[in-house]
């Protein structure tokens, strides 16, 4: 189902590059490296063979089902699917197989299948993950697939993202400046480096779903929105007055101060954004702005 990466032959990369003129030490190192590679290959093959035989080649999925529009399906339940496994199969691949082969009414969101669109954030084995980025082989059986917690379920694995999007829009997630630029607005390398991780957000909503505080306080902006605000607040090209404007949004009662550093969001983020770190930095920024000794 997923796009297959063509397998490269190992000879291309390592073996041919060696030449006779290399020192003995280098040759010894290469020898060791080859040994290690062989060992790794052996281990992997053994693991794969074991999996193939012990589980007769299928993975058991337990998928949350709920459909408010059909009388018999209004009570939530778990459906079981035995999906034939192939190497490199992701949770999304398995779900697509189940939908295509077993039950066409199984509903879930997906689009790009490569962790870019942020459509298929799911609650897999007790953790928010992207279906397309999660290998079945990394999970314990049975694989329990549920819709994101703390969001209302519309049908099966589809949750209502409206509130999440509202919070994202509340922080004005777009570049704005009051200075009229003369030509291109170049960013310094250091500044780019600073906001690099925060630009990776794909709006999947995994962080918001994992956040215990966001679950209890509906007005809390949530990690994704604050990270978005961080991305623009820390962007030097917006200018000081815009930064002040952004900090005003962040300092509100349901802004950065609601974060209680549980690190849940940082742990589930499929793009490895250090969300808690960004929230903490905005907190310090807010303190610096408001602390006056006079």
Partner 1 sequence: MSQSYNRGLIEDFGRWKEFSAGMWAWIFHKFTGWVLVGYLFTHIAVLSTALTGAAAYTETIQTLESLLVVRILEVGLLAVAVFHILNGLRLLLVDLGVGLHAQDKSFYASLALTGAIVVASVPTFLAGVF
Binding mask 209-238 for partner 1 (x = CB under 8 A): ---x--x-----------------------
Q: From the list 30, 60, 154, 249, which residue makes contact with partner 1 (rule: CB under 8 A)? A: 154
Nearer to partner 1, 103 or 281 (CB): 281
Pairing of strands 58-65, 143-146: parallel
> Cα–chain-centroid distance for residue 248?
28
Q: How far is the CB of 257 from partner 1 (least distance, A)?
A: 12
Crossing angle for the helix pair 275-290 and 240-250, to the nearest 10 degrees:
110
Query: Which residues make beta-bridge pairs with 155?
Result: 158
Look at residues 251, 255, 236 and name the one whose alpha carbon lies nearest to residue 288: 251
CA 195 to CA 281: how far, in whole Å?
A: 12
Nearer to partner 1, 76 or 84 (CB): 76
Q: How far is the CB of 69 from partner 1 (least distance, A)?
A: 5
Does residue 283 belong to the site contacting partner 1 (CB under 8 A)?
A: yes
Binding mask 174-213 for partner 1 (x = CB under 8 A): --------------------------------------x-
Q: Which residue has 């694989």 as its token pair?
A: 143
> Cα–chain-centroid distance for residue 71?
35
Question: What does the radius of gyration of the chain's CA atoms come to, in whole angstroms?
Answer: 24
For 259, half-sphere exposure in the C-beta direction (CA atoms, 13 angstrom radius) is 29
Q: How far is the CB of 72 from partner 1 (least distance, A)?
A: 15
Binding mask 60-99 for partner 1 (x = CB under 8 A): ------x-xx----x-x-----------------------
* b (16+ CB within 10 A) / e for 106-123: bbbbbeebebebbbbbbb
Does residue 149 belong to the site contacting partner 1 (CB under 8 A)?
A: yes
Nearer to partner 1, 103 or 267 (CB): 267
Instruction: Mark the segment that binds partner 1 (CB under 8 A) among 27-35, 91-99, 222-230, 272-280.
Output: 272-280
Q: Which residue has 């699917």 as its token pair?
A: 81
Q: How many residues bind partner 1 (CB under 8 A)?
A: 30
CA 220 to CA 224: how far, in whole Å?
A: 11
Query: Which residues make beta-bridge pairs with 78?
Result: 64
Q: How far is the CB of 93 from partner 1 (least distance, A)?
A: 24
* Contact residues: partner 1, CB under 8 A: 66, 68-69, 74, 76, 126-127, 149-150, 152-155, 160, 212, 215, 260-264, 266-267, 274, 276-277, 280-281, 283-284
């Amino acid at each position: 189902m997923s796009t297959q990466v063509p397998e490269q032959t190992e000879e291309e990369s390592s073996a041919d590059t060696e030449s006779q003129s290399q020192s003995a030490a280098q040759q010894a190192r290469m020898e060791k490296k080859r040994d290690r590679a062989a060992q790794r290959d052996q281990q992997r093959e053994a693991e794969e063979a074991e999996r193939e035989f012990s589980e007769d080649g299928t993975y058991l999925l337990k998928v949350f089902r709920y459909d408010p529009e059909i009388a018999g399906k209004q009570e939530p339940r778990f459906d079981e699917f035995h999906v034939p496994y192939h190497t490199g199969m992701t949770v999304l691949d398995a779900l697509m197989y189940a939908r295509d082969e077993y039950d066409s009414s199984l509903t879930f969101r997906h689009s790009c299948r490569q962790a870019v669109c942020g459509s298929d954030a799911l609650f897999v084995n007790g953790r928010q993950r992207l279906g397309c980025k999660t290998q079945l082989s990394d999970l314990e059986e049975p694989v329990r697939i549920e819709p994101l917690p703390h969001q209302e379920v519309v049908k099966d694995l589809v949750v209502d993202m409206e509130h999440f999007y509202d919070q994202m829009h509340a922080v004005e997630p777009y570049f704005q400046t009051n200075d009229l630029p003369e030509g291109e607005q170049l960013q310094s390398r250091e500044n780019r480096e600073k906001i690099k991780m925060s630009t990776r957000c794909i709006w999947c909503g995994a962080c918001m779903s994992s956040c215990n505080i966001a679950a209890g306080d509906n007005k809390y902006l949530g990690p994704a929105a604050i990270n978005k605000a961080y991305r623009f607040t820390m962007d030097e090209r917006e200018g000081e007055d815009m930064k002040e404007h952004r900090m005003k949004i962040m300092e509100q009662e349901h802004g950065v101060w609601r974060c209680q550093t549980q690190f849940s969001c940082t742990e589930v983020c499929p793009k490895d954004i250090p969300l808690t770190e960004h929230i903490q930095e905005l907190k310090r920024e807010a303190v610096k702005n408001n602390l006056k000794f006079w």
